[in-house]
Amino acid sequence: MTRENWTSSIGFILASAGSAIGLGNIWKFPYMAGENGGGTFVLVYVLCVAFIGLPVMCAEMLIGRHTRRNIINAMGKVERLSGSVGARFVLSTLSAGMAVAFATMEAWLPVALALAGVFLFAKKGFSVLGWVCTVVALAILSYYAVIGGWIVEYIRLALTGTLVPEAAGGVAAVEVAKTSQTAFAAYVASPWRVLWGFGVFMAVTGAMLLGGIRAGIERMSKILMPLLFVLLLVVIARSVTLPGAGEGIAFLLRPTLDAFTPKVVLMALGQVFFSLSLGMAITVTYGSYLHKEHNILRAAGWVGVLDTCAALLAGLAIFPAVFAVGLSPSAGPGLIFGALPAVFDTMWWGPFWAACFFFMLFIAAVTSSVALLECGATVFIERLRRGHKRGSRRTAVLIGFALCTLMGLLSVFSTADWGHLPWLGRAAEACMGDLYRGNWLDTLDNFASNWCLPFTALSTALLVGWAWTPRRAAPELLAAGEDWRALPALWGFLVRWVSPVGILLVFLYVSGFLGL
């Protein structure tokens, strides 16, 4: 398959930023910050972006551009060209370490997966890591689409003027927030209502890959994404002028030492990879379309800055309101669905702004989910072709689509409780031990974002930093003919030492092997 190239750096940066900016920034970042100590989380997050996220992002883009293969062949090829025979045993050992860590948490399903990893990594090397990335991407899509479905429902509510429940009309924002929170809890507790939003979101994602509406949505997203930033500013303007908003700003921006724990660092780290779309094949795939004339450092820098700005702006939009209306910052995944209706309710033309906001968030989420599904599909397409079956794009997309939909149903039917699937609930609790979080959506998110993504990112950093080595890889960071010295050298140091050691230390502290 010949790979097309991005025609311009700007095109590449916008496409990568489009896949990076999504629900992770606007839905997940605020509630993770709220649950993990506010300013402390934000500070750790920004440091992790700079010292761990960006170096890994450059590494992934490099792997993609150098090999121009799908993730599985790309990982295998880098391993081969680095001529390292020991690398796969390091990977295998890491996997064994993960198995031990999961065993201490009594998470038996992850233990089994990690043990299978020990064997497969030793036998087949880094191409197995490519499979892991692909599977993680599809797993993430399965619940990402459920949140996307919530957004679809909130667009509907805004359009029909029922975003703020009837009873709350004309009362103070504090009351509105309480009713919105209860309404949200009631909504996720009725899976049949969640199901239609999930269906719409998956259908749009699938249609974008198969139905030729992709170009249209991408053109639209070029206009709507900047507008999303503008609208965030509008919401911020309203949110910070609510009485009592100052406390929220302080919560978000003032770190405290008390709140600092290894768990906060693990959560921040997982969020960095989730938000920058790292460790799940996407950046490698995007990099494989990147032209030699493009400067990878610059592209990664831009994506990192845009993505982090989006997250911080979302935080600034949410927390002043959360404090002003007396919600708890640690309300969990429902945080923005409690706070935002209260903000919009106090705005002139509130339902209109609400509909616009949720619509743009929907578009941002769709550009991300398409990236997720496409990566899975690319792998299946190239695999099907190799097996001499006439693999078509349609079959591949449908396989990925069906897998995600089936997995997503588990999240849909368990978000409030497992009442609809009691057996599965008990099984999930028994299999996931301390990783279990009450429902499948949060449990899978916890496992995928906080454990799998740091693991795949760590392995990628080790592969590039130690097997391929920055000496061979770094010159490719620059565009042909450019000659900067300092930055590639700095990248080499970060990817070889800082990122892997940082991630390893976090794993060791969180699983209790090192004490703080």
Return d(Cα 401, Cα 206) in angstroms, integer.
Answer: 7
DSSP string, 197-258: HHHHHHHHHHHHHHSS-HHHHHHHHHHHHHHHHHHHHHHHHHHHTSTTTHHHHHHHH---ST
Give me the residue whose beta carbon is nearest to ligand PHE. Answer: 24
Return d(Cα 238, Cα 327) in angstroms, integer.
Answer: 17
Question: Which one of the spans 19-27, 92-100, 256-264, 352-360 is the region binding ligand PHE (CB under 6 A)?
Answer: 19-27
Please state the closest distance from residue 275 (CB atom) to ligand PHE, in A.
4
Among 40, 127, 180, 368, binds ligand PHE (CB under 6 A): 368
Give me the amino acid identity at 487: L
Q: For residue 415, state whether it binds ligand PHE (rule: CB under 6 A).
A: no
Check the CA dihedral 243-249-251-257 and report its sign: negative
Span 271-290, contacts to ligand PHE by CB under 6 A: 274-275, 277, 280, 282
Span 86-145, contacts to ligand PHE by CB under 6 A: 140
Complex with ligand PHE: residue 275 or 405, whichever CB lies closer: 275
Q: For residue 24, state whether it binds ligand PHE (rule: CB under 6 A).
A: yes
Residues in contact with ligand PHE, shown as a per-residue x/- string from 245 to 274 under the rule CB under 6 A: -----------------------------x
DSSP string, 476-512: GGSPTT----HHHHHHHHIIIIIHHHHHHHHHHHHTT
Counting residues that bind ligand PHE (by CB under 6 A) gives: 15
Q: For residue 436, state whether it binds ligand PHE (rule: CB under 6 A).
A: no
Q: For residue 22, state whether it binds ligand PHE (rule: CB under 6 A).
A: yes
Complex with ligand PHE: residue 275 or 415, whichever CB lies closer: 275
Complex with ligand PHE: residue 23 or 342, whichever CB lies closer: 23
Q: For 4, which DSSP code?
A: P
Among 15, 146, 297, 372, binds ligand PHE (CB under 6 A): 372
Return d(Cα 58, Cα 51) in angstroms, integer.
Answer: 12
- And the tokens for 253? 């921006």
Complex with ligand PHE: residue 72 or 282, whichever CB lies closer: 282
Q: For residue 25, state whether it binds ligand PHE (rule: CB under 6 A).
A: yes
Complex with ligand PHE: residue 25 or 459, whichever CB lies closer: 25
Question: Which one of the spans 20-28, 236-244, 436-444, 486-494 is the region binding ligand PHE (CB under 6 A)?
Answer: 20-28
Return d(Cα 345, Cα 199) in angstroms, integer.
Answer: 28
- As to burial, measured by CB atoms within 10 angstroms (0-12 exposed, 13-18 middle, 19+ buried), residue 130 is buried
Return d(Cα 451, Cα 107) in angstroms, integer.
Answer: 12
- And the tokens for 443? 């449990």
Complex with ligand PHE: residue 56 or 111, whichever CB lies closer: 56
Please state the closest distance from residue 134 (CB atom) to ligand PHE, in A.
12
Which position has the token pair 């620059």?
478
Complex with ligand PHE: residue 19 or 179, whichever CB lies closer: 19
- As to burial, measured by CB atoms within 10 angstroms (0-12 exposed, 13-18 middle, 19+ buried), residue 138 is buried
Please state the closest distance from residue 364 (CB atom) to ligand PHE, in A.
7
Q: For residue 379, state whether it binds ligand PHE (rule: CB under 6 A).
A: no
Question: Which one of the spans 14-22, 47-55, 96-104, 478-486 is the region binding ligand PHE (CB under 6 A)?
Answer: 14-22
Query: What are the backbone angles phi and psi of residue 469, rounded to the nearest 5°?
Result: 70, 135
Q: For residue 23, state whether it binds ligand PHE (rule: CB under 6 A).
A: yes
The answer to whether the CB of 65 falls within 8 A of the CB of 450 is: no
Q: For residue 444, state whether it binds ligand PHE (rule: CB under 6 A).
A: no
The total number of residues shown for the chain amounts to 516
| Contact residues for ligand PHE, defined by CB under 6 A | 19-20, 22-25, 140, 274-275, 277, 280, 282, 368, 371-372
